[in-house]
Structure 1
């Protein structure tokens, strides 16, 4: 098969590329960074250097391919985040349609069933709808849990204040996922025959916030590390003070509110989707400790 992977050689793209190449497929990796070209080719893949917002580039890259892993990066520019994310998704959808691609695996998220109240995930809701409207294209919406790797953002707080937390409570159950488990699931979906539009949740573990604090704390020699629930305002101001653009800080605060209310995880829990990921919290904690 000829398979296109977007997302460059990031936490998902690199392991996914290795899996697909090892399975004997012809792989092209999209990257906006020309400096990644050599690293992509060293893995045995072709490099397509260009913007994921460029329809002409995407159409040329997609033409003649059997399957596409579509990963729309969140816009970190600080303004018009949802619109810019949606526009990139529209570029993908247009190119997929015009190039005649028949199989797509889209990286989405828990909470992508909601149009509002889910922070930056609203952009993925919009993109799911764009892909859902594609005729004669089999699409799997790979709805991922909360990335373990997002917990690295809490390192300064742990080191500076001796706490970890967010604007949701310690007893909140969090569906978590490791990028490698996403790559494994994406590889499986890309290589199998599918019809219509399907949703697959990819979750590695489901743990309460206070368990996250205890397991990470134990791994870094701080077994009493507490989970602290912040107010929405404290969460917002903390992210702004840490250097996050105000609009994005607001969206992440809204996401925390949506998690606190349970609506972001509601569809996952209602679906009774199995937890299929292999990397449990304790295994990630070892990675966390090595980088702490």
Structure 2
């Protein structure tokens, strides 16, 4: 039995689809099962509740051989540590109690870098990984750079202003990955019951690309001029606070962006095994274009 957490999120719902296509038994943990598709409700076992709750994860992990672990967003958390480590503590206990053999988790690049200790969400994510690994479970942390899909969150601004924003240098080439590729990698590891040990699995996308290069591709795909605008880190943080984030979580986002601007995501050499198929142009054609133009 495979357990999938966050099954309605950007990555989780695609992992679920991959498991449905594989025809394997699996179980999902969902706070609101009504958000699941009819296909998932018919094809999966459902445990209702939060995977930060001890009773819920004990029930969900009963008889499970593998778990897909992904945190839900908590923009109003009191601290990054609370959002990542404290949320995961009940699951770590349940992994040991229920004898789960393997965990595949969504995490971040940066392990071993001096920047990792002051990188906000990345720092919290790596600490979460350490907590899971301390249970002795076989573990694969899918270490990702920034998601292409995050740019779609600025679809209205791209449509109305012809701009998108970040505090990261416009000329800095960094890896970027599509969530559908992350989900495909996760599903492969979940369906493979032969692996042991603990390690990170870098998932770097197809290419390193700068925000200025992204703007050129977006302009070409949309048939309209779109520019990238670098903003200050203070302005970046203020936008998150304005949208309702706690001070601590907004600072965590800002610290992560600062570390990426310093090259955090370039710590892992690109190899064919670390690369994934979807190019930024292909993602724009498949996803961003419809998000912007409707």
TM-score, normalised by the number of residues in structure 1:
0.89
Q: Deviations over 1:5-46 (max 9, x none)?
A: 111222222221222232231111111113236636445111
SS in 1 for 2:56: helix
Separation (CA, whole Å) in 1 of partners of 2:288 and 2:84: 29
Separation (CA, whole Å) in 2 of partners of 1:34 and 1:24: 21
RMSD (Å) for aligned C-alpha atoms = 2.2
Correspondence for 2:217: 215
User: What does residue range 154-233 of structure 1 map to in structure 2 within 5 Å?
Assistant: 154-192=154-192, 193-205=194-206, 206-223=208-225, 225-233=226-234
Q: Which has the higher contact order (CA 8 A, sep 6+)?
A: 2
User: What are structure 2's unaligned runs of at least 5 residues?
Assistant: none
1:5 and 1:70 in contact (8 A); partners too: yes
Summarize the Cα distance change of 1:238–1:22 in structure 2 as closer, same or farther, 3 Å threshold: closer
Separation (CA, whole Å) in 2 of partners of 1:238 and 1:253: 10
SS in 2 for 1:116: helix
Summarize the Cα distance change of 1:85–1:27 in structure 2 as closer, same or farther, 3 Å threshold: same
- Structure 1 residue 106: Cα displacement: 1.1
Q: Please, which moves more after superposition, 281-290 or 212-221?
A: 212-221
TM-score, normalised by the number of residues in structure 2:
0.89
Separation (CA, whole Å) in 2 of partners of 1:31 and 1:241: 29
Separation (CA, whole Å) in 1 of partners of 2:261 and 2:101: 38
1:29 and 1:40 in contact (8 A); partners too: no
Summarize the Cα distance change of 1:266–1:278 in structure 2 as closer, same or farther, 3 Å threshold: closer
Correspondence for 2:144: 144
Correspondence for 2:238: 237
Aligned pairs, number: 287
User: What does residue range 53-64 of structure 1 map to in structure 2 within 5 Å?
Assistant: 53-64=52-63
Separation (CA, whole Å) in 2 of partners of 1:52 and 1:42: 18
- Structure 1 residue 154: Cα displacement: 2.3
Separation (CA, whole Å) in 1 of partners of 2:228 and 2:135: 43
User: What does residue range 1-292 of structure 1 map to in structure 2 within 5 Å?
Assistant: 2-36=1-35, 39=38, 41-42=40-41, 44-111=43-110, 113=112, 115-135=116-136, 137-192=137-192, 193-205=194-206, 206-223=208-225, 225-262=226-263, 264-269=264-269, 272=271, 274-286=273-285, 287-292=287-292
Separation (CA, whole Å) in 1 of partners of 2:39 and 2:32: 11
Summarize the Cα distance change of 1:37–1:176 in structure 2 as closer, same or farther, 3 Å threshold: closer
Separation (CA, whole Å) in 2 of partners of 1:15 and 1:242: 27
Q: Deviations over 1:41-67 (max 9, x none)?
A: 445111111111112221221111111
- Structure 1 residue 259: Cα displacement: 1.0
Separation (CA, whole Å) in 2 of partners of 1:274 and 1:281: 18
User: What are structure 1's unaligned runs of at least 5 residues?
Assistant: none
